[in-house]
Structure 1
Amino acid sequence: MRKQISNNIFNIVTIFLVTMFFSCNDSFKQVQKMGISDNEPVGVAENINLKYTDSGRVTANLLSPKMLDFTNRDFPYNEFPQGITLYIYDEENKKSTVISDYAIIYDATNLIDLQGNVVITTADNRILKTEQLYYDQKREWLYTNKPVTFSSEKDIINGNGFDSNSKFTNAEVLEVTGYVTVED
Protein backbone atom coordinates (compact mmCIF):
# COMPACT_ATOMS: atom_id res chain seq x y z
CA MET A 1 0.00 0.00 0.00
CA ARG A 2 2.80 2.43 0.89
CA LYS A 3 4.56 1.56 -2.32
CA GLN A 4 1.44 2.34 -4.33
CA ILE A 5 0.98 5.72 -2.55
CA SER A 6 4.65 6.48 -3.09
CA ASN A 7 4.34 5.64 -6.81
CA ASN A 8 1.21 7.79 -7.12
CA ILE A 9 2.98 10.78 -5.49
CA PHE A 10 5.99 10.22 -7.73
CA ASN A 11 3.75 10.14 -10.83
CA ILE A 12 1.90 13.30 -9.77
CA VAL A 13 5.17 15.16 -9.13
CA THR A 14 6.59 13.96 -12.45
CA ILE A 15 3.50 15.07 -14.38
CA PHE A 16 3.57 18.44 -12.60
CA LEU A 17 7.28 19.00 -13.42
CA VAL A 18 6.88 17.95 -17.07
CA THR A 19 3.87 20.27 -17.44
CA MET A 20 5.82 23.18 -15.96
CA PHE A 21 8.84 22.42 -18.15
CA PHE A 22 6.85 22.47 -21.39
CA SER A 23 4.79 25.52 -20.41
CA CYS A 24 7.94 27.71 -20.21
CA ASN A 25 8.47 29.20 -23.66
CA ASP A 26 10.94 32.00 -24.24
CA SER A 27 10.35 33.40 -20.77
CA PHE A 28 13.97 34.62 -20.57
CA LYS A 29 13.26 37.34 -23.16
CA GLN A 30 10.13 38.32 -21.28
CA VAL A 31 12.11 38.59 -18.03
CA GLN A 32 14.70 40.76 -19.80
CA LYS A 33 11.98 43.16 -20.94
CA MET A 34 10.36 43.45 -17.50
CA GLY A 35 10.65 46.92 -16.11
CA ILE A 36 11.74 48.38 -19.45
CA SER A 37 9.22 50.50 -21.28
CA ASP A 38 9.04 49.95 -25.01
CA ASN A 39 10.10 53.58 -25.48
CA GLU A 40 13.06 53.48 -23.11
CA PRO A 41 16.62 52.48 -24.00
CA VAL A 42 18.06 49.33 -22.49
CA GLY A 43 21.23 51.30 -21.68
CA VAL A 44 22.65 54.82 -21.59
CA ALA A 45 26.32 55.70 -21.92
CA GLU A 46 27.79 59.13 -21.30
CA ASN A 47 31.07 60.75 -22.33
CA ILE A 48 32.02 57.99 -24.74
CA ASN A 49 35.62 57.69 -25.90
CA LEU A 50 35.63 54.44 -27.87
CA LYS A 51 38.74 53.29 -29.75
CA TYR A 52 38.66 50.68 -32.51
CA THR A 53 41.84 48.74 -33.13
CA ASP A 54 43.05 46.42 -35.86
CA SER A 55 46.19 44.36 -35.24
CA GLY A 56 47.11 46.60 -32.28
CA ARG A 57 46.79 49.83 -34.31
CA VAL A 58 44.04 52.38 -33.54
CA THR A 59 41.93 52.72 -36.70
CA ALA A 60 39.09 54.87 -35.32
CA ASN A 61 38.17 56.88 -32.25
CA LEU A 62 34.52 57.69 -31.53
CA LEU A 63 33.67 60.53 -29.15
CA SER A 64 30.14 61.39 -28.03
CA PRO A 65 28.52 63.00 -25.01
CA LYS A 66 25.70 60.42 -24.94
CA MET A 67 24.61 57.12 -26.48
CA LEU A 68 21.22 55.47 -26.07
CA ASP A 69 21.11 51.70 -26.59
CA PHE A 70 17.88 50.44 -28.15
CA THR A 71 19.17 46.96 -29.02
CA ASN A 72 16.22 45.48 -27.11
CA ARG A 73 13.88 46.45 -29.98
CA ASP A 74 12.74 44.32 -32.89
CA PHE A 75 14.81 46.63 -35.15
CA PRO A 76 17.83 47.32 -32.88
CA TYR A 77 19.80 50.56 -33.00
CA ASN A 78 22.10 52.89 -31.06
CA GLU A 79 21.31 56.60 -30.99
CA PHE A 80 23.68 59.51 -30.39
CA PRO A 81 21.28 62.40 -29.66
CA GLN A 82 24.03 64.92 -28.90
CA GLY A 83 26.14 64.08 -31.92
CA ILE A 84 29.46 62.43 -32.60
CA THR A 85 33.03 63.18 -33.50
CA LEU A 86 34.79 60.32 -35.24
CA TYR A 87 38.49 60.21 -36.06
CA ILE A 88 39.50 57.64 -38.67
CA TYR A 89 43.16 56.71 -39.16
CA ASP A 90 44.43 55.24 -42.41
CA GLU A 91 47.34 52.79 -42.86
CA GLU A 92 49.81 55.69 -42.69
CA ASN A 93 48.15 56.99 -39.50
CA LYS A 94 46.73 60.04 -41.31
CA LYS A 95 43.55 61.31 -39.68
CA SER A 96 40.16 62.02 -41.25
CA THR A 97 37.35 63.54 -39.16
CA VAL A 98 33.57 63.03 -39.22
CA ILE A 99 31.32 65.37 -37.20
CA SER A 100 27.53 65.45 -36.90
CA ASP A 101 24.92 66.85 -34.50
CA TYR A 102 23.03 63.54 -34.36
CA ALA A 103 23.74 59.95 -35.37
CA ILE A 104 21.97 56.63 -35.34
CA ILE A 105 23.43 53.19 -36.10
CA TYR A 106 21.06 50.44 -37.23
CA ASP A 107 22.47 47.03 -36.28
CA ALA A 108 20.33 44.91 -38.61
CA THR A 109 21.21 46.86 -41.77
CA ASN A 110 24.72 48.10 -40.82
CA LEU A 111 23.59 51.57 -41.82
CA ILE A 112 24.73 54.77 -40.10
CA ASP A 113 22.56 57.88 -40.43
CA LEU A 114 24.39 61.16 -39.69
CA GLN A 115 22.24 64.29 -39.37
CA GLY A 116 22.69 67.99 -38.71
CA ASN A 117 25.82 69.91 -39.72
CA VAL A 118 27.58 66.84 -41.07
CA VAL A 119 31.20 67.63 -41.94
CA ILE A 120 33.78 65.15 -43.19
CA THR A 121 37.37 66.33 -43.50
CA THR A 122 39.72 63.81 -45.11
CA ALA A 123 43.42 63.42 -44.43
CA ASP A 124 44.15 65.13 -47.78
CA ASN A 125 41.95 68.15 -46.86
CA ARG A 126 38.87 67.37 -48.93
CA ILE A 127 35.76 68.59 -47.11
CA LEU A 128 32.17 67.41 -47.48
CA LYS A 129 29.36 69.40 -45.83
CA THR A 130 25.70 68.37 -45.77
CA GLU A 131 22.69 68.12 -43.46
CA GLN A 132 22.34 64.33 -43.74
CA LEU A 133 24.65 61.55 -44.84
CA TYR A 134 24.27 57.78 -44.85
CA TYR A 135 27.12 55.31 -44.50
CA ASP A 136 26.67 51.68 -45.50
CA GLN A 137 29.22 49.84 -43.35
CA LYS A 138 29.11 46.60 -45.38
CA ARG A 139 29.72 48.27 -48.72
CA GLU A 140 31.83 51.08 -47.18
CA TRP A 141 29.73 53.58 -49.14
CA LEU A 142 28.63 57.18 -48.39
CA TYR A 143 25.57 58.78 -49.96
CA THR A 144 22.93 61.47 -49.62
CA ASN A 145 20.26 63.21 -51.68
CA LYS A 146 20.49 66.40 -49.62
CA PRO A 147 22.33 69.56 -50.74
CA VAL A 148 26.12 69.24 -50.37
CA THR A 149 29.28 71.28 -50.65
CA PHE A 150 32.40 69.33 -51.58
CA SER A 151 35.75 71.12 -51.47
CA SER A 152 39.13 69.93 -52.67
CA GLU A 153 42.42 71.78 -53.08
CA LYS A 154 41.29 73.29 -56.38
CA ASP A 155 37.49 73.05 -56.52
CA ILE A 156 34.37 73.88 -54.55
CA ILE A 157 31.35 71.98 -55.87
CA ASN A 158 27.76 72.47 -54.74
CA GLY A 159 25.04 69.99 -55.61
CA ASN A 160 22.02 68.00 -54.56
CA GLY A 161 23.43 64.64 -53.59
CA PHE A 162 26.69 62.81 -53.06
CA ASP A 163 27.93 59.31 -53.77
CA SER A 164 31.33 57.84 -52.89
CA ASN A 165 33.30 55.00 -51.43
CA SER A 166 34.69 55.56 -47.94
CA LYS A 167 38.12 56.56 -49.24
CA PHE A 168 36.67 59.30 -51.51
CA THR A 169 38.61 57.89 -54.49
CA ASN A 170 35.51 58.15 -56.69
CA ALA A 171 33.57 60.94 -54.98
CA GLU A 172 30.75 62.33 -57.09
CA VAL A 173 28.57 65.36 -56.41
CA LEU A 174 25.15 64.77 -57.97
CA GLU A 175 23.02 67.41 -59.67
CA VAL A 176 25.79 70.02 -59.58
CA THR A 177 24.37 73.50 -58.90
CA GLY A 178 27.65 75.41 -58.65
CA TYR A 179 31.32 74.89 -59.43
CA VAL A 180 34.21 77.15 -58.46
CA THR A 181 37.86 76.59 -59.31
CA VAL A 182 40.21 78.05 -56.72
CA GLU A 183 43.45 79.50 -58.04
CA ASP A 184 46.62 79.88 -55.99
Structure 2
Amino acid sequence: MTMFFSCAVDLKPEVAENVPVGIAENINLKYTDSGKLKANLISPKMFDYSNRAFPYSEFPDGINLYLYDKENNKSTVLADYAISYDKTGVIDLQGNVVLATSTNDTLFAKQLYYDQNKQWLSTNQPVTFRTGGDLINGNGFDSDVNFKEAEVLEINGIITLDE
Protein backbone atom coordinates (compact mmCIF):
# COMPACT_ATOMS: atom_id res chain seq x y z
CA MET A 1 0.00 0.00 0.00
CA THR A 2 1.41 3.37 -1.02
CA MET A 3 0.16 6.64 0.40
CA PHE A 4 0.93 10.11 -0.87
CA PHE A 5 0.48 13.24 1.19
CA SER A 6 0.75 16.76 -0.05
CA CYS A 7 0.60 19.96 1.93
CA ALA A 8 0.50 23.44 0.55
CA VAL A 9 1.51 26.22 2.86
CA ASP A 10 0.55 29.78 2.00
CA LEU A 11 2.86 32.02 3.98
CA LYS A 12 1.24 35.26 2.81
CA PRO A 13 -0.59 36.82 5.73
CA GLU A 14 -4.20 37.67 4.98
CA VAL A 15 -5.31 40.93 6.52
CA ALA A 16 -8.96 41.87 6.38
CA GLU A 17 -9.60 45.26 4.83
CA ASN A 18 -11.48 46.51 7.89
CA VAL A 19 -8.59 45.67 10.23
CA PRO A 20 -5.66 48.07 10.56
CA VAL A 21 -2.30 46.82 9.31
CA GLY A 22 -0.64 48.65 12.17
CA ILE A 23 -1.38 50.25 15.50
CA ALA A 24 0.94 52.83 17.03
CA GLU A 25 0.71 54.10 20.59
CA ASN A 26 2.08 57.23 22.25
CA ILE A 27 3.09 58.91 19.00
CA ASN A 28 5.44 61.88 19.04
CA LEU A 29 6.19 62.48 15.36
CA LYS A 30 8.37 65.40 14.31
CA TYR A 31 8.54 66.67 10.75
CA THR A 32 11.58 68.70 9.74
CA ASP A 33 12.61 70.40 6.52
CA SER A 34 16.16 71.60 5.94
CA GLY A 35 16.92 71.04 9.61
CA LYS A 36 14.01 73.18 10.85
CA LEU A 37 11.09 71.77 12.81
CA LYS A 38 7.88 72.27 10.78
CA ALA A 39 5.37 70.11 12.67
CA ASN A 40 5.04 67.96 15.77
CA LEU A 41 2.16 65.46 16.02
CA ILE A 42 1.34 63.94 19.39
CA SER A 43 -1.37 61.31 19.81
CA PRO A 44 -2.08 58.43 22.19
CA LYS A 45 -3.05 56.04 19.36
CA MET A 46 -3.02 55.69 15.58
CA PHE A 47 -4.56 53.01 13.38
CA ASP A 48 -2.93 52.48 9.97
CA TYR A 49 -5.39 51.51 7.22
CA SER A 50 -2.94 51.69 4.33
CA ASN A 51 -4.29 48.30 3.20
CA ARG A 52 -7.50 49.92 1.96
CA ALA A 53 -8.25 51.02 -1.58
CA PHE A 54 -8.49 54.58 -0.19
CA PRO A 55 -5.78 54.46 2.52
CA TYR A 56 -5.97 56.52 5.70
CA SER A 57 -4.67 56.86 9.25
CA GLU A 58 -7.12 57.19 12.13
CA PHE A 59 -6.46 58.88 15.47
CA PRO A 60 -9.37 57.67 17.63
CA ASP A 61 -8.14 59.29 20.86
CA GLY A 62 -7.40 62.69 19.34
CA ILE A 63 -4.36 64.71 18.38
CA ASN A 64 -2.23 67.63 19.46
CA LEU A 65 -0.53 69.12 16.43
CA TYR A 66 2.00 71.93 16.62
CA LEU A 67 2.84 73.76 13.39
CA TYR A 68 5.83 76.07 13.01
CA ASP A 69 6.19 78.82 10.40
CA LYS A 70 9.37 80.24 8.87
CA GLU A 71 9.91 82.52 11.89
CA ASN A 72 9.44 79.52 14.24
CA ASN A 73 6.06 80.84 15.49
CA LYS A 74 3.91 78.01 16.80
CA SER A 75 0.25 77.33 16.01
CA THR A 76 -1.64 74.63 17.88
CA VAL A 77 -4.36 72.29 16.64
CA LEU A 78 -6.32 70.12 19.09
CA ALA A 79 -9.09 67.63 18.27
CA ASP A 80 -10.80 64.70 19.98
CA TYR A 81 -10.61 62.60 16.79
CA ALA A 82 -8.80 62.84 13.46
CA ILE A 83 -8.53 60.93 10.23
CA SER A 84 -5.87 61.63 7.59
CA TYR A 85 -6.45 60.52 4.00
CA ASP A 86 -3.19 59.62 2.26
CA LYS A 87 -4.24 60.12 -1.36
CA THR A 88 -5.91 63.52 -0.97
CA GLY A 89 -3.84 65.04 1.83
CA VAL A 90 -7.04 66.00 3.67
CA ILE A 91 -7.25 65.70 7.46
CA ASP A 92 -10.73 65.55 9.00
CA LEU A 93 -10.61 66.91 12.57
CA GLN A 94 -13.63 66.26 14.79
CA GLY A 95 -14.84 66.98 18.30
CA ASN A 96 -13.79 70.05 20.28
CA VAL A 97 -11.50 71.29 17.52
CA VAL A 98 -9.36 74.24 18.56
CA LEU A 99 -6.86 75.97 16.30
CA ALA A 100 -4.80 78.72 17.94
CA THR A 101 -2.20 80.78 16.11
CA SER A 102 0.89 82.43 17.53
CA THR A 103 -0.98 85.78 17.27
CA ASN A 104 -3.77 84.42 19.52
CA ASP A 105 -6.37 84.17 16.78
CA THR A 106 -8.39 81.12 17.81
CA LEU A 107 -10.97 79.00 16.01
CA PHE A 108 -13.38 76.71 17.86
CA ALA A 109 -15.33 74.16 15.80
CA LYS A 110 -17.06 70.79 15.97
CA GLN A 111 -15.37 69.72 12.75
CA LEU A 112 -12.64 71.18 10.56
CA TYR A 113 -11.04 70.00 7.33
CA TYR A 114 -7.39 70.74 6.65
CA ASP A 115 -6.15 70.37 3.07
CA GLN A 116 -2.40 69.87 3.46
CA ASN A 117 -1.72 70.34 -0.26
CA LYS A 118 -3.54 73.67 -0.53
CA GLN A 119 -2.72 74.73 3.06
CA TRP A 120 -6.43 75.53 3.50
CA LEU A 121 -8.91 75.12 6.38
CA SER A 122 -12.67 74.80 5.96
CA THR A 123 -15.90 73.66 7.56
CA ASN A 124 -19.63 74.10 7.07
CA GLN A 125 -20.32 73.46 10.76
CA PRO A 126 -20.93 76.09 13.50
CA VAL A 127 -17.77 77.95 14.55
CA THR A 128 -16.57 80.60 16.94
CA PHE A 129 -13.59 82.65 15.78
CA ARG A 130 -11.70 84.98 18.06
CA THR A 131 -9.62 87.51 16.22
CA GLY A 132 -8.30 90.71 17.73
CA GLY A 133 -11.00 91.95 20.10
CA ASP A 134 -13.88 90.24 18.29
CA LEU A 135 -15.62 86.95 18.93
CA ILE A 136 -17.45 85.95 15.73
CA ASN A 137 -20.06 83.17 15.62
CA GLY A 138 -21.21 81.66 12.36
CA ASN A 139 -21.94 78.59 10.29
CA GLY A 140 -18.87 77.77 8.25
CA PHE A 141 -15.29 78.91 7.95
CA ASP A 142 -12.71 79.23 5.17
CA SER A 143 -9.10 80.26 5.62
CA ASP A 144 -5.49 79.80 4.70
CA VAL A 145 -3.47 78.21 7.51
CA ASN A 146 -2.13 81.57 8.70
CA PHE A 147 -5.63 83.13 9.00
CA LYS A 148 -4.58 85.88 6.58
CA GLU A 149 -7.69 85.16 4.47
CA ALA A 150 -9.96 83.98 7.30
CA GLU A 151 -13.69 84.27 6.73
CA VAL A 152 -16.54 83.20 9.00
CA LEU A 153 -19.50 82.25 6.82
CA GLU A 154 -23.15 82.93 7.67
CA ILE A 155 -22.26 85.20 10.59
CA ASN A 156 -24.94 85.11 13.29
CA GLY A 157 -23.24 87.26 15.91
CA ILE A 158 -20.20 89.40 16.69
CA ILE A 159 -19.19 90.29 20.23
CA THR A 160 -16.50 92.88 20.83
CA LEU A 161 -14.49 92.00 23.89
CA ASP A 162 -12.93 94.43 26.31
CA GLU A 163 -9.20 94.00 26.39
CA distance in 1, matches of 2:77, 2:11: 35
Amino acid at match of 2:128: T
Provide the residue aligned with 1:52 in structure 2: 31
Amino acid at match of 1:110: G
Superposed counterparts of 1:126-137, under 5 Å: 126-137=105-116
How many pairs align? 154
Provide the residue aligned with 1:18 in structure 2: none
What is the TM-score with the length of structure 1 in the denominator? 0.81
CA distance in 2, matches of 1:164, 1:155: 17
Identity of aligned residues (%): 61
Amino acid at match of 1:37: A
Q: Which has the higher strand share?
A: 2
Residues 103-137 of structure 1, C-alpha deviations (whole Å, 9 max, x = no match): 00011111110000000010000010000000111
Distance apart, 1:93 and its partner CA: 1.2
Instruction: Choose between structure 1 and 2 for higher RCO, CA contacts under 8 A separated by at least 6 residues.
Output: 2
Superposed counterparts of 1:162-173, under 5 Å: 162-173=141-152
Residue 74 of structure 1, aligned match among 38, 53, 75:
53
Distance apart, 1:152 and its partner CA: 1.5
What is the TM-score with the length of structure 2 in the denominator? 0.91
> Could you say what the CA RMSD is over the residues aligned between the two structures, in angstroms?
1.4
Provide the residue aligned with 1:63 in structure 2: 42
Provide the residue aligned with 2:6 in structure 1: none
CA distance in 1, matches of 2:70, 2:115: 21
Q: Which has the higher helix share?
A: 1
Provide the residue aligned with 2:119 in structure 1: 140
Say whether 1:84 aligns with 2:69: no
Amino acid at match of 1:142: L
Say whether 1:181 aligns with 2:130: no
Q: 1:116 to 1:32 in 2, by over 3 A?
A: farther
